[in-house]
A and B are shown apart, each in its own frame.
Chain A
Amino acid sequence: MSNDIIDGILEAIRLLFTFDRELWGIIEVSFRVSLTSTFLAALVALPIGSFIGLREFRGKKTLSNLINTFMGFPPVVMGLIIYLLLSRSGPLGSLGLLYSTSAMIFAQFFLAVPIITGTAKAAIESVDPTLKETILSLGASERQLWWELIKDSKKSIIAGFLVAFGQAISEVGAVMIVGGNIRWETRTFTTSIVLNTRMGEFGMAIALGVLLISIAFIVNYGLTRLQARGG
């Protein structure tokens, strides 16, 4: 078994440096899908999350509980929902987007939105209330206050973004269902690992796993560096 893992690591290095077309294609698709979906999710979730964190309103607690629940939404179920929506027999079937990277972006987008919303909300809420009041009493409007708080908690917000990205790139259930694991088109790290395991190509599966873990490591390293940075 340990031989398999060592072979896998060697295979990963070999494939990377021989610029294996299929491997680099998989890396490209994985990053394109996960980065786009996380970025889009941030665009939507950041204003929503920070708004919830900023304002006090009726039903805020219920909404927060809902967001927390959706933060742990099972990806496979999300995949199934997006599949049923985009399927040719579904309401959005005429778009023909099923089994495309767009469909995968949709699924990961909806998985990432609650994560980024929740972290943005928590980040804004954890800002020292005296800072909020100081900014307000200096004459800031609500929008100006919002911008300042985002800037003040940017580290936590970026951390939330990275968590969502890490989830997206290592997620398998949803992208398998809506992407279909089509070679050259929608095959990602994770779906490729599943396929290679099923085909008995354990070396290749481990190689891809090693790469995925390396990416996770780099993301986490960035995260800790970010948190360690002063200021």
Chain B
Amino acid sequence: MSSRKPFKEVLREHKTAIILALIIIAGGSVGSYFVIDILRAQDPKRITLATTTSTYDSGLLDYLLPKFTEQTGIKIRVLSVGTGQAIAYGQRGDADVILVHSRSREDAFVNDSGGQIPYGIHRACVMYNDFLIVGHSSNPANLQLGDNITTVMTKLKLGMTEGHNTTFYSRGDNSGTHSKELSLWSLIAWDPTTAGTDYYKDVGAGMGDTLLITYNDANNRGYTLVDRGTWLTFNDTYTILNILAKSVKGEDILLNPYGVIPVNPVLHPHIKFVSACRFVGFITSPYGQALIDAYRKNNAVLFHACFGTCNETHDCSTTDDEIVIWRPYHSEFAGLSI
């Protein structure tokens, strides 16, 4: 035992130095990990897109974006959130480009920022789908597919306030769908949030969750507003829910147009504006538009491309300027076919 100094004793006598060295190595490697992440954030070929759950969760972006990356080498990081959150991310500079569906808030986003410089520039209308009102097949409010929207909303209101046989589930999360729903109620000059009815439920959840809650309505009399994309994802699962109202000819309000807006680099200098504009160019180019039209989920069409034609399909009040501005960005994708 006394002949040779055991290695453990050597370690013990240099304990402090060893621990310090380990801490420095660990700290150094974690530090360099952070540095790598900071450097990666500067990469101009890596942009962030804030979009709504309806576009991402439907699988459209997973289908579209690899084709964009293939052409340009630009990687897109997708944040799939509600419209309100996506717009907030744009305003704070946390996203380079946003793809959302709430026209009034999109207009506010490009027109004023509460000050002089707008948050985003040159909205482009990309595509649209439509909203549906779905509910249990017992249909206590007696909605008819041919009803115009004011009739539909009035029937629902009466079902809640007088018939007491109708429950409406609202997203209540400040999303595009939620603001659409509120604008539908304003058509009949009625505000369910202040009407004091127990039959109007504010669930504060995403579309999938709201559908699930509607489906599980205890008395089989739930209704909700849903975008077609999400509906097609779930309609096989929630078989007892049916489409009870949809857009009728000549009526735009249930149409759901999506706009894409690059965030203003004047306001946020770190915004990778060129790459963001190339993405807008891609998605509005004939190639990108054809891809959108070709996308199917469960053999159903989800989105209709509408850049430059939206004034024909619905009242989008897109100006010719916007079309002129984005056209030069299409050249990069010219001649590509799906």
In the complex, are there CB atoms of A and B closer than 8 Å? yes
B20 at the interface (CB under 8 A from A): no
The stretch from B75-83, B99-107, B277-285 touching chain A is B75-83
A101 touches B37 (CB 8 A): yes
B274 sits at the interface (CB 8 A): no
CB pair B23 A43 closer than 8 Å = yes
Q: Provide the residues of chain B in CB contact with A170, threshold 8 Å.
A: none
Q: How far is the CB of B13 from chain A (nearest CB, A)?
A: 13
Flag if B26 contacts A88 (CB, 8 Å).
no
Shortest Cβ gap from A4 to chain B (Å): 10
Chain B residue at minimum C-beta to C-beta distance from A89? B92
Task: Tell me the nearest residue of chain A to B42, going by C-beta.
Answer: A96
Which residue of B26, B33, B37, B80 contacts A181 across the interface (Cβ within 8 Å)?
B80
A-B contacts counted at CB < 8 A amount to: 77
Residues of A within 8 A of B233 (CB): 199-200
Query: How far apart are the CA atoms of A95 and B34 in the complex, in Å?
Result: 10
A158, CB-defined interface residue at 8 Å: no
Indicate if B327 sits at the interface (CB-CB under 8 A).
no
User: In the complex the two chains form, what is the Cα distance from A95 to B209 in whole Å?
Assistant: 35
* Cβ of B257 under 8 Å from chain A: no
- Are B53 and A198 touching (Cβ within 8 A)? yes
Q: Which residue of A lies closest to B91 (CB)?
A: A89
Residues of chain A in range 28-64 having any CB-CB distance to chain B below 8 Å: 36, 39-40, 43
Are B77 and A182 touching (Cβ within 8 A)? yes
Contacts of B26 in A (CB 8 A): 39-40, 43
B66-98 toward A: CB 8 Å interface, digit per residue (1/0)? 000000000001111000000000011110000
Q: How far is the CB of B335 from chain A (nearest CB, A)?
A: 29
Q: State which of B33, B207, B270 has its C-beta within 8 Å of the C-beta of A96.
A: B270
> Could you list 22 A-B pairs, sorted by A, with CB under 8 Å?
A43-B26, A87-B94, A88-B92, A88-B268, A89-B91, A89-B93, A96-B38, A96-B41, A96-B42, A97-B38, A98-B94, A99-B77, A102-B38, A105-B30, A183-B62, A183-B78, A195-B80, A198-B208, A198-B209, A199-B233, A200-B208, A200-B237
A residues adjacent to B (C-beta < 8 A): 36, 39-40, 43, 87-90, 93-102, 105, 147, 180-183, 185, 195, 197-200
Seed contacts A100-B40, A183-B78; 12 additional CB < 8 Å A-B pairs: A43-B26, A87-B92, A87-B93, A88-B93, A95-B41, A96-B41, A96-B42, A105-B30, A181-B79, A183-B62, A199-B57, A200-B233
**Interface of B toward A, CB cutoff 8 Å:** 15, 23, 26-27, 30, 33-34, 37-38, 40-42, 48, 53, 57, 59, 62, 77-80, 91-94, 206-209, 233-234, 237, 268, 270
